[in-house]
Structure 1
Amino acid sequence: DEISDLSQANAAKQADLAALRREVELLQIDRDNARDAAHAWNLDRSAKETELRRLDALAAALSAELREQQESHQQRLTDLQGSRDELRAQFAELAGK
């Protein structure tokens, strides 16, 4: 009878041990999945940060180019206005003769 009780207790302990091993296995799978997801997230974030830096550099270059074009156009406008004023003065001088 005592051997039967010990045998049942042993079987119960073995079942508990098997359940705990399965739980550990599932937790390890969860940990591995979480690690893989974190790694994928880090790769994605790194790629997005790289793209953001590229776009920031492109925006800065385009802004500088636009500023340069605006300055060039402003200078051209100033030159044309000066030429116009000079021609008006010449026409006024000719009209006065």
Structure 2
Amino acid sequence: MDKAELVSKMQENQAWVPGKTVKLDFGDKGVILLDGVNQKVSEDDGAADTTIKTAWEDWEKMASGELDGMTAFMTGKLKIEGDMSNAMQLQGVLAKLKG
């Protein structure tokens, strides 16, 4: 799945934390902004309550279940800036994408 497909799937599944903004920063691959305030998912870069930084390859491994999010965090493959509770809530949201 490429980034544009992921954005559309996240929009379709309402993959955001209600009332919060969470930015997924994939470095050179760009960002995805999960805007729970305006209920939309986009590739716009902007301020967010929480920023999650990870490599696209690691994101794909987490999405497929090959890499556990907590393991990724503990080993430094996933970095969280801002409100940590939003990142924890996002885990449940992302589980919906696997369904």
TM-score by structure 1 length?
0.16
Q: Which has the higher strand share?
A: 2
Q: Whose Rg is larger?
A: 1
More helix by share: 1
Structure with bigger RCO (C-alpha 8 Å, 6+ apart): 2
